[in-house]
Structure 1
Amino acid sequence: MKTSAIVAILAVSGASAFTPNTNAPQQLTKVGATAELDNMLGVDIETGKKIFDPVGLAQWAPADFLRKAELSNGRSAMLANVGWFWPKIVGTFDSQDVTTTDPIKAIAEADLQWWAQFFVFCGMLEAVKYRGELEGKSYTGEGPAVIDWAKQWDKLNADQKESMRLKELKNGRLAMLGFASYVANYYIPGSVPGLPAGF
């Protein structure tokens, strides 16, 4: 009961962050971000020195939005890679509900209360990011970490910061491809060369 009350309070407290910004112009037409993307960080040898946009999404969204989305997905994929390997190497925590080291089966074993808390927590983080965006702040793309624990980011010069941004971007892309390959190999054994069946 106490957990349900906390979840309700947190959900209500973050709702104001999703109030629409009436001053912002609505963009529902093509924005022509392709040219801007061609000059962005990350257009490199592995993409053939041009943007990789096979379905043409760049024409419908601003370039900075696409970059922030790519970084957010890359960071999530890096965490997902750790989550895929962790139970297989370290094992599970002392838990009564999740007992498998199979990452897909573990999703179904997790208690619904845990999932509710997880979604509320993620919603709160997104609300903070969204409110910051409305105020002109950015929590994505400023550096290689949202929180710089070692306080080293400001000590780097412009070239070093550019190098760190590129490393994070490429590691995120690799993590997205890696995680996609694990899931593909899980459901279609042998579809990824070098990975054992059911990995």
Structure 2
Amino acid sequence: MKTAIIATLVGSAAAFAPSPVARVESSLSYAKELDSMAGVSNEVGGKVWDPCGLSDYVPADWARRAELSNGRSAMLATVGWFFPKIFGTFDSTDVTTTDPIDAILQSDPQWWVQFIVLCGVFESWKYNQEMSGKSFLGGAAPAVDYLKLWPEDAAKQEELKLKELKNARLAMIGIAGLVSNHLLPGSCPVPPGF
């Protein structure tokens, strides 16, 4: 009797064992291309950090441009999160809070239309600059360098690209933590009031 019960249990447990499935390789494997890009450093174990395997499905250059663009937006968002809490709000009748999420909801819809049009103008200008050989996201001379921070030396250029990428990644994690803590108080180690 005991043998029959054990055999039944082993048989039913085998039903939940994973079946061997061959990994399907995409024809768009860009991981090798990522190895030569900025961003492979100590923090990510000296290799490309791609936990979801997205480099098999999107071009490496496009993914890096998206990462830098989103990182720059996150850097601005982080400054925008702290600015009203430290310096207060501008004279305004519609936005009366220093809470960033509430401020978004209090803003007049016409402000959002103006903001979207302004972003469209900037994106159009960026596109035109890139078509003329300038760059916003690496690969060529920068389109905007008012402070003359872009070095002539290739090694220094790579160092600057790595610094920007690290700051962009940190800002994306930071703003995600601030928003998470706002929506779920106590979910992230954020000082009180932020």
Superposition TM-score tier, normalisation by shorter sequence: 0.7 to 0.9
In structure 1, the residue matched to 2:187 is 191
CA deviation profile, 1:93-139 (whole Å, cap 9, x unmatched): 11111110001000011110000011111122223333445565533
Among candidates 87, 96, 99, match of residue 99 of structure 1: 96
In structure 2, the residue matched to 1:169 is 165
> Is the Cα contact below 8 Å between 2:78 and 2:174 reproduced in 1?
yes
Q: Computing the radius of gyration over CA atoms, which structure comes out larger, 1 or 2?
A: 2
Q: Measure how far apart 1:39 and its partner are.
A: 2.2
Letter in 1 for 2:175: F
Q: Which has the higher contact order (CA 8 A, sep 6+)?
A: 1
> Is the Cα contact below 8 Å between 1:71 and 1:141 reproduced in 2?
no
Alignment of structure 1 residues 1-199 onto 2, 5 Å: 30-133=27-130, 137-142=134-139, 147-153=144-150, 155-193=151-189, 195-196=190-191, 199=194
Which structure 1 segments of 5+ residues have no match? 1-28
Structure-1-length-normalised TM-score:
0.76
Taking only aligned residues, the RMSD between alpha carbons, in angstroms, comes to: 2.3
Q: Measure how far apart 1:55 and its partner are.
A: 2.1
Identity %: 56
> Is the Cα contact below 8 Å between 2:30 and 2:56 reproduced in 1?
yes
Number of residue pairs the alignment of both structures matches: 169
Structure-2-length-normalised TM-score:
0.78
Which structure 2 segments of 5+ residues have no match? 1-25
Q: Measure how far apart 1:148 and its partner are.
A: 1.1
